[in-house]
Structure 1
Amino acid sequence: MKKLSIVLIGVFCTFQLCFSQGAPDYTGGMKVKLNEEGTKYFRIISWAQFWAQHNSDRPLDVNGNEQSDLNFSIRRARVLMYAQLNKKFMILTHFGLNSLNGDNLSPTGKGESSQLFFHDVWGEYSLSKNHAIGGGLHYWNGISRANNQSTLNIMMLDNTRQAWATIGLSDQFARHMGVYVKGKFDKLQYRVSINDAVTNNLQASASPVNGAAIYSGRRLLGSKDAGRTYAGYFDYNFLDQESNFLPYKVGTYLGTKKVFNVGAGFFLHPKGSVSLDNNSNLEGEDVSIFAVDAFYDAPLGENGAAITAYGLAQFNDYGNNFTLGQTYETGTMLHAHLGYVIPSSNSTKFQPYAHFTTRSIDALDDNANQFGIGANAYFSGHHSKLTLEYQNTKYANNDAVGTITLQAMIYL
Structure 2
Amino acid sequence: MKKLLLIFSVTAMQCVYGQDSISIKKDTVKVSSEKNPLDIGELRINLNDKGDKWLKFGISSQIWLRSIDNNPGTAVNGVPQNQTYDAGIRRMRLIIQSQVTPFYSVFLQMGINNQSFNSGGGTGTGNNGAGKKSPFFFHDAYNELAIIPRNDFQTGKPNKNNLYLGAGLHSWNGVSRLTNASTTKMLAGDIPVFNFPTIEMADQFARQLGIFVHGELDRINYRFSVNKPFATSLKPAVGGPAVDNNQSGKLSYSGYAFYQFFNKETTVTSFLPGNNLAAKKVLNLGAGFYTNKDATQSQPTENNFESHDVSIFGADVYTELPLGNKNKEMGLTLYSVFYRYNYGPDYLRISGLLNPGTSDPLFTGQRALEGAGNNRVLMGTGNIWFSQMGFVLPKFSKILKVQPFFNYALKDMKALNQNGSYYDIGANLYLYGQNARIVAQYSSRPLYDTASQKVFDRKGEFLLSFQIVL
The TM-score with structure 1 as length reference comes to 0.92
**Letter paired with 2:98:** A
Summarize the Cα distance change of 1:12–1:374 in structure 2 as closer, same or farther, 3 Å threshold. same
Runs of at least 5 residues in structure 1 that lack an aligned partner in the other structure = none
Q: Distance in 1 between matches of 2:281 and 2:348?
A: 39
Of residues 71, 75, 79 in structure 1, which corresponds to 2:94?
Answer: 79
Deviation at 1:43, TM superposition (A): 0.3
Matches within 5 A, 1:178-189: 178-189=210-221
Q: How does 1:191-202 map to 2 (within 5 A)?
A: 191-200=223-232
Q: Deviations over 1:267-322 (max 9, x none)?
A: 00111111235674222111000010000012112211011000000000011111
Matched, 1:411 2:469: yes
Aligned twin of 2:168: 136
Equivalent residue, structure 1, for 2:45: 32
Kindly indicate whether the alpha-carbon contact (under 8 Å) linking 2:238 and 2:300 is maintained by their aligned counterparts in 1: no
* Residue of structure 1 aligned with 2:140, choices 120, 136, 153: 120
Aligned-partner residue type, residue 239 of structure 2: N
Of 171-180 and 2-11, deviating more is 2-11
* Cα distance, 1:113 vs structure 2: 5.8
Judging changes above 3 Å, is the alpha-carbon distance between structure 1 residues 112 and 266 closer, same or farther for their aligned structure 2 residues? farther
Residue 349 of structure 2 aligns with which residue?
324
CA displacement at 1:255 relative to structure 2? 2.3
Output aligned runs, 1:157-236, within 5 Å.
157-200=189-232, 204-218=233-247, 222-223=248-249, 227-236=250-259
- Note the C-alpha offset of 1:112: 7.9
Cα distance between partner residues in 1 of 2:87 and 2:240: 41
Note if contact 2:171-2:270 (Cα within 8 Å) is conserved in structure 1: yes
- Is residue 430 of structure 2 the alignment partner of residue 378 of structure 1? yes
Matching residue within 383, 387, 401 for 1:336: 387
* Matching of residues 38-117 of structure 1 within 5 Å: 38-57=51-70, 59-61=74-76, 63-66=78-81, 69-104=84-119, 105=121, 106=124, 114-117=134-137
Q: Tell me, yes or no, if the aligned pair for 2:239 and 2:301 is still in contact at 8 Å.
A: no
* Partner amino acid, structure 1, of 2:415: A
C-alpha displacement of 1:52: 0.6
- What secondary structure sits across from 2:271 in the alignment? coil
Structure 1 residue identity aligned to 2:421 = N
Aligned to 2:14: 14
Contact 2:77 2:118 in 1 (8 A): no
Any idea what SS the aligned residue of 1:14 has? helix
Aligned-pair CA distance for 1:213: 1.2
- Displacement of 1:217: 2.4
Residues matched between the structures, number: 401
Does structure 1 conserve the Cα–Cα contact (< 8 Å) formed by 2:64 and 2:88? yes
2:194 aligned counterpart, secondary structure: helix
Partner of 1:290: 313
**Partners of 2:276 and 2:180 in 1: CA distance:** 16
Superposed CA deviations along residues 65-100 of structure 1, whole A, max 9, x for unmatched, are 337621111111000111011111111110101111
Residue 314 of structure 1 corresponds to 339
Tell me the secondary structure at the aligned position of residue 337 of structure 1.
Answer: strand
Partner-residue secondary structure (3-state), 1:69: strand
Say whether the 8 Å CA contact 1:348–1:377 is kept in structure 2.
Answer: yes
Matched, 1:156 2:207: no
Secondary structure (helix, strand or coil) at the match of 1:161 reads coil
Tell me, what secondary structure is at the counterpart of 1:160? coil
Give 5+ residue unaligned stretches, structure 2: 20-35, 150-161, 351-376, 449-454
- Percent of pairs with identical residues: 28
- Distance in 1 separating the partners of 2:77 and 2:235: 21
Counterpart of 2:356 in structure 1 is none
Q: One-letter code of the match for 2:60?
A: W
The equivalent of 2:440 in structure 1 is 388
Measure the CA separation in 1 of the matches of 2:413 and 2:236: 21
* Residue pairs, 1:256-295, within 5 angstroms: 256-277=279-300, 280-295=303-318
SS in structure 1 opposite 2:457?
coil
Contact 1:18–1:26 (Cα < 8 Å) also in 2: no
1:394, 1:113 → 2: CA distance? Answer: 33
Instruction: Go from structure 1 to structure 2 and tell me whether the alpha carbon gap of 1:408 and 1:93 turns closer, same or farther (over 3 Å shift).
Output: same
How does the TM-score come out when normalised to structure 2? Answer: 0.81
CA-CA distance at 1:372 after TM superposition:
1.2
**Structure 2 letter corresponding to 1:82:** Q
Distance in 2, Cα, partners of 1:268 & 1:365? 27
Structure 1 residue 189 displacement after superposition: 0.7
* Aligned mates of 1:229, 1:288 — CA distance in 2: 10
Q: Note the 1:346-361 alignment, pairs <5 A.
A: 346=397, 347-361=399-413
**Which residue type is aligned with residue 337 of structure 1?**
Q
CA contact (8 A) 1:24 1:381 kept: no
Larger Rg: 2
1:46 Cα deviation (Å)?
A: 0.3
CA RMSD, aligned part only?
A: 2.2
Q: CA deviation at 1:13?
A: 1.7
Match of 1:244 among 267, 272, 296: 267
